[in-house]
Amino acid sequence: NAGVTQTPKFQVLKTGQSMTLQCAQDMNHNSMYWYRQDPGMGLRLIYYSASEGTTDKGEVPNGYNVSRLNKREFSLRLESAAPSQTSVYFCASSEARGVSYNEQFFGPGTRLTVL
Amino acid sequence: GQQLNQSPQSMFIQEGEDVSMNCTSSSIFNTWLWYKQEPGEGPVLLIALYKAGELTSNGRLTAQFGITRKDSFLNISASIPSDVGIYFCAGHPYSGAGSYQLTFGKGTKLSVIP
């Protein structure tokens, strides 16, 4: 079991460029999440998908779009990157069922720099 | 929205010492989670707590769900160099269906001096 995988691991963009961050999980989890992590700010939720076919905004959704492609995959898209989007992006998943409902498992992250 | 206050922000300890850190909330939580993040990696779930007063261990780590439901504590006994990292608490006001968003503390950065 690879758990949660993310690609790419590193990315440098110029302002205005677009890109898609990929995430996949092999734990058969129902829910998936995208976070960004900035120094002094902790982890902030961008978007989440409670189940296949649904997506909802989190705390900081502006400038991002998401797609829940199937139960395994959840992608995050930056349509026009801005320097303020320089951050480390983490994908997470959770079973969202039973006693372990809230336990989220994280991927290794994508380190994005926007110049 | 809800906020989690995690303390201390950072700590330097000698190898072999015990470590304590805590997390407090302005409102009641029904779930407390503790994560560890090492440099360049994603957070790894260490312990999950679901019941007020619950005390759960994972090796040298012990976490407790506070009786008031507004706090949680993590203790590490006999620290070793590989304990270095940032420890995050996370909580949720609900348990079960309808809950998806965790609230995270800002982390306690632990440094262990050999």
pLDDT exceeds cutoff 80 at B1: no
Chain A residues with at least one Cβ partner in B under 8 Å:
4, 31, 33, 40-43, 45, 48, 50, 56, 58-59, 90, 92, 94, 96, 99-109
Please indicate if any CB of chain A lies within 8 Å of the CB of B29. Answer: no
When mean pLDDT is compared across A27-36, A95-104, B84-93, the lowest value belongs to: A95-104
Give the pLDDT mean for A66-75. Answer: 96
From the list B42, B100, B104, which residue is nearest A42 (CB)? B104
As to burial, measured by CB atoms within 10 angstroms (0-12 exposed, 13-18 middle, 19+ buried), residue B47 is: buried
Q: Which amino acid is at A77?
A: R
> Would the pLDDT of B35 be above 60?
yes
Amino acid at A70: N
> Residues B36-66: pLDDT tens digits?
999 999 999 999 999 999 999 999 999 999 9
d(CA B21, CA B35): 12
